[in-house]
């Protein structure tokens, strides 16, 4: 019987079995950032330990970096965190993509951009959206700070093996439907806890035809569906993306690596613990209405009514609507917004801005809406500026910012105020997520955020931008 | 690096309402601007303990003085979902909690908690609801979690609880912080490293 990519990567990286039965798993690539690493370095110092393989850890700063004047930390606490990661990387010999490197950005954008993220590898980072790297056929886990310590000290961590669920999406997406809609649709279908205990293998012809950036968007939100990691099997699209990246193999090693990477792909006769099949044509532009990423509906649907819900769901809907202050049973389309945010590790990549700019051109942000576009990395920012994308956003009335996590989690100055509603291309709509304890988040694709910004309310981008079956490429 | 085994956890318990309590709720991101975990206890559940507009205390159970000395948290389904921030279980232990009983836990939170020696056990909704009601009715009710027998007892109430075998084993053996064992396997680590072309 064949094996899944998950099993092959796991087996290749298994160091041994620990006394409690867990696997000691080798982590080939460790990514760190300023929020979850300082305590781990503190623990290393307390234990008198070194970083085992400094060349396998890569650092950048993203969560707390201001997106206006990146160089000026918002407050002394933020300054302390930046000083700490600089010093830690210096003391322990870790590669650090600092603000001045021209390579800084959201850690999950930087890794792939640099060619650090490679097929068949294990990747860990003290951030739950590490699953993003699975787009390359890597097994990538979000971990806690004590585990960051473990990986720094030993390049390994204790892990329990996961089951594998194949999520097959087949067919062509309708015009105006994007990778973000696919991932929101899956989470809606399987629930925020549906993936607990699973790794998700995303496959099918829809995924086959996706670009690497689209695959990253899908894998990024595996954790929102409860899955610890998600991945796509590596193929020519993967190799094409990685070719000539700074950390990609070169020369003879390149051909050898491709051979090896291909060997990690799931075998045709591999068995899965579960299989889900989705028809791409059934996926509509999807938005959230509540306080959990599985509170999703298509743009044509109405906000759920607790009165019509089953008793199990009733309390959840009531709590969500009380927080969101949204009217039960009315269409989500037309709900006014205050803020529009395009960015984050989910949707802050070049293709996200390209696609939104293509449609946004010639339109204006509605009066009273604060719209910000935040590239995921300094490299993305420069490319968008070169291609005229930044200018399209600015002409439309968006603020074009510098790279960082920005309003996805608001550990930097970009925050909602009061109970503002934000149309957001990020990944979480939890209570208070965007910085105001009563702020409200509606998740959607970047193009849908652009449409909401233009209309001043939740809108169907296909109508706003007159996207028809014929106009789509 | 010897650590004591954890077999019994006893104390009074506080019921926390709601499902899918995410780690942003447990510790809002703005309190993670820190380079140590010290002092996180006071920010646990901050935005639901204090009214965001008035700053006044809300009617959250953690503001109820009768639960002041509670050391066990009783919660619903998918507790600790969302961000991987260890700041969440760190804030709970520093607040004074030494165990959590819930219907289910999100995986990363669960792993982070176990590593800190904060046992997370699960039971059915029915059992959890009965326990919550009993604690609400009598905040002085002593609740005991026995990781050996895998039971929770509280007064006349007693029910079985679950926990993955590896976590239970690690807690009972005092090996829930795996660092020593990981370090001890240095030779095997180096052998694995040299077998991987992208690491070599």
Mean pLDDT throughout A345-350? 98
Of the partner residues A19, A192, A409, the one whose CB lies closest to the CB of residue B78: A192
* Residue A258 and residue A323 share a domain: no
Its domain, for residue A247, covers 11-274
Q: What is the DSSP string of A283-324?
A: ---EEE-SSSTT-EEETTSBPP-GGGS-HHHHHHHHHHHHHH
Mean pLDDT throughout A404-431? 96
- Please tell me whether residue A50 adopts helix, strand or coil conformation: coil
Residue A471's pLDDT band (cuts 50, 70, 90)? low
* CB within 8 Å: B24 and A149: no
* CB within 8 Å: A409 and B29: yes
* Residue A308 and residue A269 share a domain: no
Q: Does B132 touch chain A (CB under 8 A)?
A: no
Torsional sign, CA A433, A435, A439, A442: negative
Q: Are A33 and A128 in contact (CB under 8 A)?
A: no
For residue A319, list chain B residues with Cβ-Cβ distance below 8 A. Answer: 18
Q: Which of A11, A18, A82 to mutate to test the interface with B (most CBs of B within 10 A)?
A: A18
Domains in chain A: how many in total? 2
Place of tokens 């006349």: B156
To the nearest whole angstrom, how far is the Cα of A420 from the nearest Cα of chain B?
13
Q: What confidence tens digit (pLDDT) does each residue in A366-388 have?
A: 999 999 999 999 999 999 999 99
The nearest alpha carbon in chain B to A438 belongs to: B52
Mean pLDDT of chain A: 97
* CB within 8 Å: B179 and A153: yes
Confidence at residue A472, expressed as pLDDT on a 0 to 100 scale: 45
Place of tokens 């990519």: A5
Task: DSSP letter for B19, please.
Answer: S
Domain annotation for chain B: domains and CATH numbers: 8-174 (3.20.19.10)
How many interface pairs between A and B have CB atoms less than 8 angstroms apart? 214
Of the partner residues A153, A196, A437, the one whose CB lies closest to the CB of residue B107: A196
Q: Does B54 touch chain A (CB under 8 A)?
A: no
Per-residue pLDDT 10s for chain B (200 aa) are 568 999 999 999 999 999 999 999 999 999 999 999 999 999 999 999 999 889 999 999 999 999 999 999 999 999 999 999 999 999 999 999 999 999 999 999 999 999 999 999 999 999 999 999 999 999 999 999 999 999 999 999 999 999 999 999 999 999 999 999 999 999 999 999 999 999 98
The verdict on residue A309 lying in a domain is yes
What predicted TM-score, i.e. pTM, was given to this entire model?
Answer: 0.97
Confidence at residue B200, expressed as pLDDT on a 0 to 100 scale: 82
* Cβ atoms within 10 Å of B131's Cβ, excluding its own: 22
Confidence at residue A1, expressed as pLDDT on a 0 to 100 scale: 86
* Residue A224 and residue A311 share a domain: no
To the nearest whole angstrom, how far is the Cα of B125 from the nearest Cα of chain A?
11
- Given a cut of 90, whether residue A312 has pLDDT beyond it is no
Q: Which two tokens stand for residue A152?
A: 């720094």
Q: What confidence tens digit (pLDDT) does each residue in B23-56 have?
A: 999 999 999 999 999 999 999 999 999 998 899 9
Q: Which of A22, A57, A198 to mutate to test the interface with B (most CBs of B within 10 A)?
A: A22
The verdict on residue A33 lying in a domain is yes
Percent pLDDT > 70 in chain A is 99
CATH number at residue A295: 3.30.499.10
Closest by CA to A106, choosing from A247, A238, A201, A220, is A220
The verdict on residue A44 lying in a domain is yes
* Residue A445 and residue A325 share a domain: yes
* Residue A115 and residue A20 share a domain: yes
Q: Are B82 and B57 in contact (CB under 8 A)?
A: no
Question: Last residue of a domain, which of A245, A274, A303?
Answer: A274
* CB within 8 Å: B178 and A196: no
The nearest alpha carbon in chain B to A145 belongs to: B86
Q: Are A397 and A365 in contact (CB under 8 A)?
A: yes
For residue A197, list chain B residues with Cβ-Cβ distance below 8 A. Answer: 107
The nearest alpha carbon in chain B to A408 belongs to: B29
Strands (E), chain B: 8-15, 72-75, 99-102, 120-122, 142-146, 151-154, 157-160
Q: Which two tokens stand for residue A259?
A: 């051979």
The verdict on residue A83 lying in a domain is yes
Mean pLDDT throughout A22-30? 98
Residue A338's pLDDT band (cuts 50, 70, 90)? very high
**CA distances to B52, B105, B123 from B140, in Å:** 30, 26, 22
Residue A288's pLDDT band (cuts 50, 70, 90)? very high
* Residue A338 and residue A238 share a domain: no
* CB within 8 Å: A19 and B30: no
Place of tokens 């000395």: B69
* Residue A293 and residue A245 share a domain: no
The verdict on residue A60 lying in a domain is yes
Closest by CA to A428, choosing from A142, A176, A234, A208, is A142
Cα end-to-end distance, chain B, whole Å: 31
Of the partner residues B22, B166, B179, the one whose CB lies closest to the CB of residue A21: B166
The nearest alpha carbon in chain B to A413 belongs to: B30
The nearest alpha carbon in chain B to A418 belongs to: B53
For residue A226, list chain B residues with Cβ-Cβ distance below 8 A. Answer: 78, 81, 106-107
Q: What confidence tens digit (pLDDT) does each residue in A81-135 have?
A: 999 999 999 999 999 999 999 999 999 999 999 999 999 999 999 999 999 999 9
* CB within 8 Å: B53 and A438: yes
Q: What is the DSSP string of A223-245?
A: GGGT-SEEE----HHHHHHHTT-
Confidence at residue A231, expressed as pLDDT on a 0 to 100 scale: 98
Confidence at residue A410, expressed as pLDDT on a 0 to 100 scale: 82
Q: Which two tokens stand for residue A357?
A: 């700019």
Of the partner residues A26, A158, A438, the one whose CB lies closest to the CB of residue B52: A438
Mean pLDDT throughout A274-303? 98
Q: Does B37 touch chain A (CB under 8 A)?
A: yes
* Residue A215 and residue A293 share a domain: no
* Residue A257 and residue A134 share a domain: yes
CA–CA separation, A104 and A34 (whole Å): 12
Q: Which two tokens stand for residue A456?
A: 């001043």
The verdict on residue A282 lying in a domain is no
Q: What b/e sequence results for A301-313 when a residue is b if at least 16 CB atoms lie within 10 Å of its CB, and e otherwise?
A: eebbebeeeeeee
Of the partner residues A15, A126, A431, the one whose CB lies closest to the CB of residue B84: A126
* Residue A458 and residue A393 share a domain: yes
The verdict on residue A230 lying in a domain is yes
The nearest alpha carbon in chain A to B178 belongs to: A158
For residue A150, list chain B residues with Cβ-Cβ distance below 8 A. Answer: 178-179, 182
The verdict on residue A4 lying in a domain is no
Q: Which two tokens stand for residue A281?
A: 């044509």
CA–CA separation, A205 and A134 (whole Å): 17
- Please tell me whether residue B125 adopts helix, strand or coil conformation: helix
The nearest alpha carbon in chain A to B173 belongs to: A20
Closest by CA to A186, choosing from A262, A112, A109, A131, is A131
Question: Last residue of a domain, which of A274, A307, A337?
Answer: A274
Of the partner residues B108, B179, B185, the one whose CB lies closest to the CB of residue A16: B185
Q: Give every CB contact of residue A422 below 8 A, 6+ residues apart in sequence.
A: A337, A338, A339, A340, A341, A407, A416, A434, A439, A440, A441, A442
For residue B18, list chain A residues with Cβ-Cβ distance below 8 A. Answer: 319
For residue A407, list chain B residues with Cβ-Cβ distance below 8 A. Answer: none
Q: For residues B3 and A265, which has the higher predicted lDDT (pLDDT)?
A: A265
Closest by CA to B14, choosing from B122, B77, B130, B97, is B97
* Residue A305 and residue A169 share a domain: no
Q: What confidence tens digit (pLDDT) does each residue in A149-195 have?
A: 999 999 999 999 999 999 999 999 999 999 999 999 999 999 999 99
The nearest alpha carbon in chain B to A142 belongs to: B84
Question: Last residue of a domain, which of A274, A297, A326?
Answer: A274
- Please tell me whether residue A248 adopts helix, strand or coil conformation: coil
Angle, CA of A158, A163 and A167, to the nearest 5°? 130
* Residue A53 and residue A120 share a domain: yes
The nearest alpha carbon in chain A to B89 belongs to: A144
* CB within 8 Å: A36 and B179: no
Element (DSSP H or E) covering residue A399: strand A399-400
Q: Which two tokens stand for residue B198?
A: 């992208």
Q: Which of B48, B83, B170 to mutate to test the interface with A (most CBs of A within 10 A)?
A: B83
Of the partner residues B82, B164, B181, the one whose CB lies closest to the CB of residue A160: B164
To the nearest whole angstrom, how far is the Cα of B157 from the nearest Cα of chain A?
25
- Given a cut of 80, whether residue A470 has pLDDT beyond it is no
Write phi, then psi, for A293 (nearest 5 degrees).
-60, -15
* CB within 8 Å: B182 and A24: yes
Q: Give every CB contact of residue A362 below 8 A, 6+ residues apart in sequence.
A: none
């Amino acid at each position: 019987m064949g094996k899944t990519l998950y099993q092959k990567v796991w087996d290749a990286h298994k160091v041994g079995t620990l006394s409690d039965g867990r696997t000691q798993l080798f982590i080939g690539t460790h990514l760190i950032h300023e929020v979850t690493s300082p305590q781990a370095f503190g623990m290393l110092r307390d234990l008198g330990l070194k970083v085992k393989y400094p060349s396998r850890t890569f650092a950048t700063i993203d969560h707390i970096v201001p997106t206006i004047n990146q160089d000026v930390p918002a407050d002394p606490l933020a300054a302390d965190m930046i000083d700490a990661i600089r010093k830690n990387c210096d003391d322990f010999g870790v590669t650090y993509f600092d603000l001045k490197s021209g390579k800084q950005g959201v850690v999950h954008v930087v890794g792939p951009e640099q060619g650090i993220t490679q097929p068949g590898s294990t990747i860990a980072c003290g951030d739950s959206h590490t699953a993003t790297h699975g787009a390359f056929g890597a097994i990538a886990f979000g971990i806690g700070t004590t585990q960051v310590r473990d990986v720094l000290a030993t390049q390994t961590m204790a892990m329990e093996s996961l089951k594998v669920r194949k999520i097959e999406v087949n067919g062509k997406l309708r015009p105006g439907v994007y990778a973000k809609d696919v991932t929101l649709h899956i989470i809606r279908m399987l629930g925020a806890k549906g993936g607990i205990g699973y790794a998700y293998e995303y496959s099918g012809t829809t995924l086959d035809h996706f670009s690497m950036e689209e695959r990253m968007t899908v894998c990024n939100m595996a954790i929102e569906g409860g899955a610890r990691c998600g991945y796509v099997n590596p193929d020519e699209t993967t190799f094409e993306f990685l070719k000539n990246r700074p950390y990609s193999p070169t020369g003879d090693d390149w051909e050898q690596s491709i051979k090896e990477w291909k060997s990690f792909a799931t075998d045709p006769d591999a068995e899965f613990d579960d299989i889900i099949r989705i028809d791409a044509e059934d996926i509509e532009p999807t938005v959230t209405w509540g306080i959990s990423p599985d509170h999703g509906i298509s743009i044509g649907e109405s906000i759920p009514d607790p009165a019509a819900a089953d008793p199990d769901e009733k309390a959840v809907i009531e709590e969500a609507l009380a927080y969101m202050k949204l009217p039960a049973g009315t269409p989500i389309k037309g709900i006014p917004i205050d803020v529009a945010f395009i960015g984050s590790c989910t949707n802050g990549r070049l293709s996200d801005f390209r696609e939104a700019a293509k449609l946004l051109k010639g339109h204006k942000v509605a009066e009273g809406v604060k719209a910000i576009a935040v590239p995921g990395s300094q490299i993305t920012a420069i490319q968008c500026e070169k291609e005229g994308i930044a200018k399209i956003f600015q002409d439309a009335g968006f603020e074009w910012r510098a790279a960082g996590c920005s309003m996805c989690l608001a550990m930097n100055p970009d925050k909602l105020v009061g109970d503002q509603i934000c149309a957001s291309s990020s990944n979480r709509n939890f209570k208070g997520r965007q910085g105001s304890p009563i702020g409200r988040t509606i998740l959607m694709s970047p193009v849908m955020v652009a449409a909401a910004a233009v209309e001043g309310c939740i809108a169907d981008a296909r109508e706003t931008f007159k996207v028809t079956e014929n106009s789509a490429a | 690096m010897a650590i004591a085994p954890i077999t019994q956890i006893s104390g009074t318990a506080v019921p926390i309402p709601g499902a899918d309590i995410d780690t942003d709720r447990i510790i809002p991101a703005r309190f993670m601007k820190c380079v140590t975990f010290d002092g996180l206890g006071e920010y646990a559940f901050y935005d639901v303990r204090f009214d965001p507009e008035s700053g006044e205390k809300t009617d959250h159970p953690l503001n109820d003085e009768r639960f002041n000395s509670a050391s066990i948290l009783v919660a619903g389904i998918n507790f600790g979902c969302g961000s991987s921030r260890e700041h969440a279980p760190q804030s709970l232990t520093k607040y004074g909690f030494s165990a959590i009983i819930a219907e289910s836990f999100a995986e990363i939170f669960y792993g982070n908690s176990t590593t800190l020696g904060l046992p997370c056990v699960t039971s059915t909704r029915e059992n959890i609801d009965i326990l919550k009601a009993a604690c609400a009715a009598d905040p002085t009710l002593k609740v005991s979690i026995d990781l050996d027998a895998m039971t929770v007892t509280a007064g006349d109430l007693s029910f079985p609880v679950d926990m993955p075998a590896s976590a239970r084993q690690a807690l009972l053996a005092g090996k829930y912080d795996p660092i020593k064992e990981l370090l001890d396997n240095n030779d095997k680590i180096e052998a694995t490293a040299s077998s991987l072309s992208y690491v070599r």
